[in-house]
Every structure is written in structure tokens, then in C-alpha cells.
A and B are shown apart, each in its own frame.
Chain A
Amino acid sequence: MSNIKYLLLRRITQITLLALYFGANAYGWHMLEGTFGASRLFGFIPLADPYTTLQVLATGFVLGTDVLLGALLITLFYMIVGGRAFCSWVCPINMVTDLANWLRRKLNLDKEEVNYRFIKRRARYWLMVLGLIVSAVVGVAAFEVLSPITIMQRGIVFGFGAGISVIIAIFLFDLFGVKNGWCGHLCPLGASYSLIGKVSLIRVKHDHEACTNCMKCKVVCPENQVLHMINKESISVTDGECTNCGRCIDVCDDNALEFGIRSFTNKSKD
């Protein structure tokens, strides 16, 4: 069990959140209402996605205070505590891309991987800025028009319709196209959480003394460029692109990786 501890916890968290959102529409629950764009927690605490909020602001519309306050709360939470945890603990697309990634490994598709040089991991930051520009030009929150994240969530809460094709497209792209293609290269929402969560407290810590250099962590990590310290030095993973998913901790047989609080004492080594 210990090698899927965080995986299980994440799936439980993701599915519980989706169930609460589903119940809000189907049964009138007041735990968590709305969608990731904007929600209400316990019937009165506003929550809103920071990047979605920025897109709406970019269209030139002056948003209601509920959304602004909600975006602030979410920003503060991930900035101080969670890091980029939205991507691996909340986002429903994570289950789709994780499945694609797992199948890739089982089907040995990684071995034959084509080097898609034209999509780099930093493409998401370009897309993030581009999304704001397009929002301003066209006058509509541009990423929300095609975001598979909210399409999947609304699909679960209100019904999918033809929106399911977007989810299948992401799955096929990650399975047969680029490894970690959507979450690790393109998703502008993930990019925004990478920036927000850069300084957060919860970090994966590496113990160089215990590490046997088996590289299992690097195989499962969806953003394995953040694990550059493996077999080199005992420091925390401080890269904002780490989603705090904890898969590396799960697969490590040597207790060389563990969640911890960011240490501020030896910051010069980061």
C-alpha cells in the first residue's frame, strides 16, 4: 500500500471534490457549488480561479467583488501552502493524463518516443500570456472557450454533450503524441499555478545519503526536470512546475524522498 499512498489520497480528493460539485447541482448540496471558474464553499465563501479571473479582467469587464475575493483566496492558498497542487490534487484532467501516461509506460510507447522539438515545456507560459491577449482582443475569456478542465468538470456536473471529444483528444494526445503533452507542456492554467506556487511551503525533500540512484522517481514524475537534484545533493524540489503529486515519494524504495516544509536557512543552495 505504501507505494500508492499519495496516489490514493489524490484520487480520493479529486473524486470527493467532483462529487460535492455534482451534488450541488443534482441534490442542492451547499458544500461546494459552482465550477472551478468560480465556486462557493459552504454556501458563503467565494472561490475563483486566478487565471480565469485574469482572462475576464483582460476582456475589460470589471468583475464582481465575489470573484476577485475568491481569486485572492485561491492564490494565497496555493502560494503559501499548496504549490502547484491544484494540478495533481484537484484538476479532473489529471486523472485522464495520468491514465494516458501509465498506458504509455505499459505499452512501451516511451521507448520509441518521437522528439517533438517544436513543443517545449515552456510553451505553456507563452500560451498563458497569449490567452490573456486573445481574451482582450476577442472580448471573451479565451482559455475558458476550450479549457478541457472545466469542460470535463461541467460535463460531470451538468452533462457532457459533445464536450467529451475534447477529453478524448487530450487523452490521445498524451498517449500517442507528446509525453505529458497537455499538463506538462501546453496547459496555461497549470502554468499559472506553477508561477503562483513557486514559493509555497510544502515541498518534496530529497535525501542524497539514502538515495540508491534507481531513477524510479524520474520515470514516474510528470515534470521530471524538477528532480535535477537526484543523485546530486540533498535539497528540496523548489521548482514551481512540481505539482506536489507525491508519486516520486510513493515509488521510492529508499525513503530518499518525503514531503516537508521548505527550509529557509540554506536558501542559497536552491
Chain B
Amino acid sequence: MANSNNNRRKFFATTLQSVGLTALGGLLWSGYSDEVKASPLVLRPPGALPEEDFLKACIKCGLCAEACVNRDSNKNKDGSNREGTLQMAKGGDHRMIGTPFFIPTEVPCYMCDDVPCVPVCPSGALDALSLKSEEKELDINEARMGLAVVHKESCIAFWGIQCDACYRACPLMDEAIVLKYQKNERTGKHAFLLPIVQSDVCTGCGLCEKACVTEEPAIFVLPVEQATGKAGDHYVKGWDKKDQLRAGDRKLDEIETKTERSEKEASDYLNTEVEY
């Protein structure tokens, strides 16, 4: 009897130990995995799902990177393969290990017409359907790898110097980046040629960043999420017929506001607690 009690105690102790150690390992493992997930500002291949879903889906096989580098059009003069756009994240790259990404200043995306990297993806992390357009099954112009952003203070075009390097490097010239002409008040007789990115056209390929002539690129590609703001649904463009539909045909006095209206007159509360 005492023996079986002992055995039982031992069994419970070892089970508890196993469960405890597993929980410990699980916590460490979860913490580590969650940390390595948090690598913002990483540019993904065309057609990539939103980052959160992409990290779930990518099986880290590298087929996209292999399709990117091994192309007939991507050869050096001696016949060897030129460096591909897509890299597979290694230890030390500070991006989720084994996932594909690109750095525009090293090798931008050249927006191949046949988009070789997307259909080879076996897991669905690169979604071919997202690149479908009216003209083509796979339209690279539909890609939203990122969004080019211009830093006005370091862009020499904003200083008044004539530079249209990014404008001319852009594969969608005069569509994704347009030049805005503006009078240069400082000299009085010159024009600014300002590069303006059209965010509904820009694919984030990074050719502009690669082409930029300043010491550090004044135009650079950020992931769409980081490069865009959001006005919120409660703003309606009253002058835009389509947007106005969102407001419905509600009358002004029917609108139920959550903020309580002040009983006072504007002239009263604007002048209180002010000393002259």
C-alpha cells in the first residue's frame, strides 16, 4: 500500500514537472516568436498578403526568390545570373527568418511583365488573385509592395534644382510619379519641378529610391501601412457624390450626436476664463 502511494506520488511529481517545463518552454518560445515577428518596414514580394497574414502563410520555401533570380532577362553579359530582387531573410537580417523581402537601394523590383515570383508560391502567401486586372490575369501594375514617400526637405527638386531622376526611373512614368510645376518665388524666374507620388498608382517597386541622386534617398518606399494615414469613416466628402452616399439622406436635425451640446452662447463660453 505504501509502495503504491509512493508510485502515485512519483507519477504526479513527474507529470507536474513535465507540464511545468512544457509551460516554461511554451512561454519562452511564444515570447521569442512574437518578438521576431515584429520587424516593421519590410518590403514583401508582389501580391503578398497583409503582413500579419503573410507571416502566418509563408512556408519559407524560397520558390519566389528562385523564380526572381533565374530569368533569361536577368543575366550579366558573361551569361551568369544577375542578383535577384528577392532575398531570403537570414539570421542577422532582423526580419522574420526565411521570409522573402527586398531592399530597393540594393536591388529594386523591376516589375517583370510575367510576374514569375507569384504563381510559384505554393502556400498562398503571395496571392495571384490580388494582381488580377481587367486586362490581365497577372498584372504587376496592381502590385502594392509599398508606397514611395518624398521627404521634401532633402529632395533637391524642392530646393529649386532641376532633378527628375525618380520621375524618369519610374516604370509608370507620369502615372505613379507626376511632376508638378510651381513658380519659384525666391528667384522669381524659375520653376520648381516637384515629384508628387500618386498613391493609388504607385506599386512600391523602389526604382525611384534606387535612382535618387541625394546622399540618402529623399524618395523611399515604405510598407503601405506605414506610409498611409486614415481619416476615419466619420469624415464624408460632401462634394463627392459617391462618398456623400455614405451619409445617406439624413436631415441635419435627425443626426444623433454623442457629444452633448453646450447650453451657453458661443460669445459666453469663448470669453470665460480669459484675462486680458
* Residues of chain A having any CB pair with chain B under 8 Å: 24-28, 33-35, 37-40, 46, 48, 52-53, 56, 59-64, 66-67, 70, 118, 126-127, 130-131, 133-134, 137-142, 144-146, 150-151, 154-155, 157-166
Q: Please report the C-alpha to C-alpha distance between residue A138 and residue B29 in the assembled complex, in whole angstroms.
A: 10
- In the complex, are the beta carbons of B55 and A139 less than 8 A apart? yes
Which 4 pairs of residues, A with B, have the shortest CB-CB distance? A161-B90, A162-B92, A28-B70, A162-B91
Chain A: which residue is nearest B89 at the CB level? Answer: A161
- In the complex, are the beta carbons of A134 and B30 less than 8 A apart? yes
- In the complex, are the beta carbons of B61 and A165 less than 8 A apart? no
Q: What size tier do the contact residues of chain B reach?
A: 35 or more
Q: Please report the C-alpha to C-alpha distance between residue A37 and residue B96 in the assembled complex, in whole angstroms.
A: 15
Q: Please report the C-alpha to C-alpha distance between residue A157 and residue B69 in the assembled complex, in whole angstroms.
A: 13
Set B22, B36, B69, B90: member contacting A25, Cβ < 8 A: B69
Smallest CB separation, B267 vs chain A (Å): 56
Question: Given A33-B63, A133-B26, A158-B88, is A139 in contact with B123 using a C-beta cutoff of 8 Å?
Answer: no
Question: Given A38-B61, A70-B122, A145-B96, is A59 in contact with B56 using a C-beta cutoff of 8 Å?
Answer: yes
Chain B: which residue is nearest A140 at the CB level? Answer: B55
- In the complex, are the beta carbons of B91 and A164 less than 8 A apart? yes
Set A56, A134, A163: member contacting B91, Cβ < 8 A: A163
Q: Please report the C-alpha to C-alpha distance between residue A70 and residue B122 in the assembled complex, in whole angstroms.
A: 9
* Residues of chain B having any CB pair with chain A under 8 Å: 17-18, 21-22, 25-26, 29-30, 32-34, 36-37, 52-53, 55-57, 59-63, 65-66, 69-70, 81, 87-88, 90-93, 96-98, 120-124
- In the complex, are the beta carbons of B61 and A130 less than 8 A apart? no
Question: Given A34-B61, A39-B61, is A130 in contact with B66 using a C-beta cutoff of 8 Å?
Answer: no
Q: Contacts of A28 on B, CB cut-off 8 Å?
A: 66, 69-70, 81
Query: Can you list 24 A-B pairs, Cβ within 8 angstroms, ordered by A?
Result: A25-B62, A25-B66, A28-B81, A34-B61, A35-B61, A38-B122, A46-B122, A56-B59, A64-B123, A118-B21, A130-B22, A130-B25, A134-B29, A134-B30, A137-B30, A139-B56, A140-B37, A140-B56, A145-B33, A151-B97, A155-B90, A162-B92, A163-B90, A163-B92
Q: Please report the C-alpha to C-alpha distance between residue A159 and residue B98 in the assembled complex, in whole angstroms.
A: 11
Q: Contacts of B60 on A, CB cut-off 8 Å?
A: 35, 37, 141, 144, 150, 154
Chain A: which residue is nearest B63 at the CB level? Answer: A34
Question: Given A133-B26, A163-B90, is A64 in contact with B124 using a C-beta cutoff of 8 Å?
Answer: yes
Q: Please report the C-alpha to C-alpha distance between residue A131 and residue B36 in the assembled complex, in whole angstroms.
A: 16
Chain B: which residue is nearest A118 at the CB level? Answer: B21
Chain A: which residue is nearest B71 at the CB level? Answer: A28
- In the complex, are the beta carbons of A40 and B63 less than 8 A apart? yes
Q: Contacts of B17 on A, CB cut-off 8 Å?
A: 118
Smallest CB separation, A42 vs chain B (Å): 14
